[in-house]
C-alpha cells in the first residue's frame, strides 16, 4: 500500500506543478510594511444623541494624556447659527481606548464652535479657546463689536490633566477688535515657543475681508495681545502655526481662492508677517489643515515638520507630509485615508509617535472623527528614523 500511495503522490505532484507555479506578477516579493500605524474611531455621528461631530482638536498633555475635543452639532449638521456644544474625550493609552463623552460647554440653542487647544509646557495648563455664537448668529449674520450679535471668544483651562475644567472666561476684548465681525481661533491647535510665548493662530473677518493672524501671551495666558496680519489681500482664514529651529514662525493658511495652501513667516514672534506666498506642493480643496513641529535640531538629529490635509481638489485623500527644511519643501507624503476626509489636528506623543485626529467617512465626509497614530518609519516607509542628539 505504501508503494502505491507513493506512486500516486508523485503523479499528483507532477500534474500540480504547472498549475501551482506562481505567475510573473505573483513571484515579485511583497514589500514588508515598515513602522507603526493604528487607528481608532473617537466620535461617531449618531452616538450620544449627536447628529454630527465636527472640527477636531487634539493635544498631548505633559503627562502624555491625549485630549480630543470637537463640535457636537446636536440636532442638525451645519455651522452656526446652530445648537453646538464643546465636547471632549481623553485617552491614557496612546489613543487605543477613549473615555466616555464629556460636555464642556453647552449654551442651549447657541453655539460654542471652531475651537483651538493649547498646552503650556512650563505650567502644564491645558487651554481650549472657542467661538461663542448667540442664537441666530453665524458668519453671515454676525455684526461688528465685542458683544451682542457677534462672534465672541471664550477660554477654559484645566490644571489637572483634563480631569476638571474652569468656568468659561470671556477673552473677546483681547482676541478681537471692535470692527471685526467674526473669525475663529485655529481651529486645531496652538503652540508654545521655546521662549515660553503662547501662540494661538486665528483669523478675522470684516466687510468681506478675511485675514490670518495670531494672538499671543507672555504671562501664561493671563493676558493676550493681537499680533499682526499675514499680508494676503484678504484671502486667507483658518491657519496653523509652527516654530522653526531659528525661532521664526511658519503660518500655514487656508485660502478663500485658489487650491494651494498660503504661507507666511514671522521673525518677531508673530508681531509682523511676510508677504503671503502659495505652496504648489500643498494642494487643497479650500479646507482646514494641520501643522506641527515633530523634531528639531535642538533636541533631535534634524528638523522635521508634519503637515496633514485632504490633498486633492475635493475633500478626500487625507495625507500626512514631512518637511526637513522648515516647510520650504515637502519631499515625503503618505496617505492616511483615501476616501472622504476634511478637517484634522496633529500632535506628537511622548514616545515620538504622531497622532492625527481627523474627519472621515466611507460615503460621506463627516461620518466620524478618527484617531490615527503612526511613527516616522511608517511615514517614510522605513527610510528615516529619529536619532537621539549626541
What domains can be seen in the chain, in order of their start residue?
Answer: 45-178 (2.120.10.10)
> What distance in Å separates the CA atoms of residue 246 and residue 249, rounded to the nearest whole number?
9
Q: Which of 38, 41, 75, 351 is catalytic?
A: 75
What are the pLDDT digits (tens) for 258-294? 999 999 999 999 999 999 999 999 999 999 999 999 9
> What distance in Å separates the CA atoms of residue 14 and residue 266, rounded to the nearest whole number?
73
Q: What is the mean pLDDT of the chain?
A: 92
DSSP per residue, 132-191:
EE-TT--TTT--SSSSSSS-EEEEEEESSTTSS-PPPEE-HHHH--TT--B--B-SEE-E
pLDDT value of residue 12: 37
CA 367 to chain centre: 17
CB 159 within 8 A of CB 220: no
What are the pLDDT digits (tens) for 323-376? 999 999 999 999 999 999 999 999 999 999 999 999 999 999 999 999 999 999
pLDDT value of residue 388: 75
Q: Which of 114, 120, 229, 238 is catalytic?
A: 238
What are the pLDDT digits (tens) for 128-165? 999 999 999 999 999 999 999 999 999 999 999 999 99
Give the length of the chain.
Answer: 390
Residue matched to cell numbers 503671503: 276
Interval 106-128 mean pLDDT: 98
41: β partners: 370
- Whether 41 sits among the annotated catalytic residues: the reply is no
Q: Which of 153, 343, 358, 366 is catalytic?
A: 343
- Compute, in degrees rounded to 10, the torsion defined by CA atoms 99, 190, 308, 325: -140
Of residues 78 and 11, which shows the higher confidence score? 78
CB 359 within 8 A of CB 337: no
Tell whether pTM > 0.85.
yes
SS (H, E, C) 337-358: EEEEEEEEEEEECCCCCEEEEE
Say yes or no to pLDDT of 236 above 60.
yes
Say yes or no to pLDDT of 4 above 90.
no
pLDDT value of residue 46: 98
What are the pLDDT digits (tens) for 203-228? 999 988 999 999 999 999 999 999 99
- Whether 343 sits among the annotated catalytic residues: the reply is yes
> What distance in Å separates the CA atoms of residue 49 and residue 123, rounded to the nearest whole number?
36
pLDDT value of residue 244: 97
Amino acid at each position: 500500500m505504501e508503494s502505491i500511495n507513493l506512486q500516486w503522490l508523485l503523479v499528483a505532484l507532477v500534474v500540480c506543478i504547472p498549475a501551482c507555479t506562481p505567475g510573473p506578477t505573483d513571484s515579485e516579493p511583497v514589500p514588508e510594511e515598515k513602522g507603526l500605524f493604528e487607528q481608532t474611531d473617537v466620535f461617531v455621528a449618531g452616538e450620544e444623541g449627536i447628529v454630527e461631530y465636527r472640527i477636531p482638536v487634539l493635544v498631548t498633555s505633559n503627562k502624555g494624556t491625549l485630549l480630543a475635543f470637537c463640535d457636537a452639532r446636536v440636532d442638525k449638521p451645519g455651522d452656526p447659527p446652530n445648537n453646538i456644544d464643546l465636547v471632549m474625550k481623553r485617552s491614557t493609552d496612546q489613543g487605543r481606548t477613549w473615555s466616555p463623552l464629556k460636555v464642556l460647554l453647552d449654551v442651549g440653542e447657541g453655539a460654542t464652535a471652531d475651537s483651538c487647544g493649547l498646552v503650556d509646557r512650563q505650567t502644564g495648563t491645558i487651554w481650549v479657546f472657542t467661538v461663542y455664537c448667540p442664537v441666530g448668529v453665524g458668519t453671515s449674520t454676525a455684526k461688528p463689536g465685542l458683544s451682542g450679535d457677534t462672534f465672541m471668544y471664550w477660554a477654559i483651562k484645566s490644571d489637572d490633566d483634563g480631569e476638571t475644567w474652569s468656568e468659561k472666561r470671556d477673552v473677546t476684548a483681547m482676541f478681537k477688535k471692535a470692527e471685526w465681525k467674526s473669525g475663529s481661533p485655529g481651529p486645531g491647535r496652538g503652540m508654545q515657543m521655546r521662549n515660553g510665548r503662547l501662540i494661538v493662530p486665528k483669523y478675522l473677518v470684516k466687510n468681506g475681508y478675511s485675514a490670518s493672524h495670531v494672538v499671543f501671551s507672555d504671562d501664561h495666558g493671563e493676558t493676550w495681545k493681537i499680533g499682526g496680519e499675514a499680508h494676503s489681500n484678504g484671502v486667507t482664514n483658518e491657519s496653523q502655526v509652527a516654530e522653526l529651529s531659528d525661532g521664526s514662525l511658519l503660518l500655514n493658511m487656508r485660502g478663500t481662492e485658489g487650491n494651494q495652501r498660503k504661507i507666511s513667516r514671522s521673525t518677531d514672534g508673530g508681531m509682523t508677517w511676510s508677504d503671503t506666498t502659495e505652496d504648489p506642493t500643498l494642494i487643497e480643496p479650500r479646507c482646514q489643515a494641520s501643522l506641527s513641529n515633530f523634531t528639531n535640531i535642538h533636541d533631535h538629529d534634524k528638523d522635521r515638520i508634519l503637515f496633514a490635509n485632504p490633498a486633492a481638489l475635493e475633500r478626500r485623500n487625507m495625507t500626512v507630509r514631512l518637511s526637513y527644511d522648515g516647510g520650504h519643501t515637502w519631499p515625503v507624503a503618505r496617505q492616511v485615508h483615501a476616501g472622504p476626509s476634511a478637517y484634522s489636528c496633529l500632535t506628537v506623543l511622548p514616545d515620538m509617535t504622531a497622532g492625527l485626529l481627523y474627519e472621515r467617512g466611507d460615503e460621506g465626509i463627516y461620518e466620524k472623527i478618527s484617531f490615527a497614530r503612526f511613527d516616522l518609519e511608517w511615514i517614510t516607509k522605513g527610510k528615516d528614523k529619529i536619532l537621539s542628539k549626541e
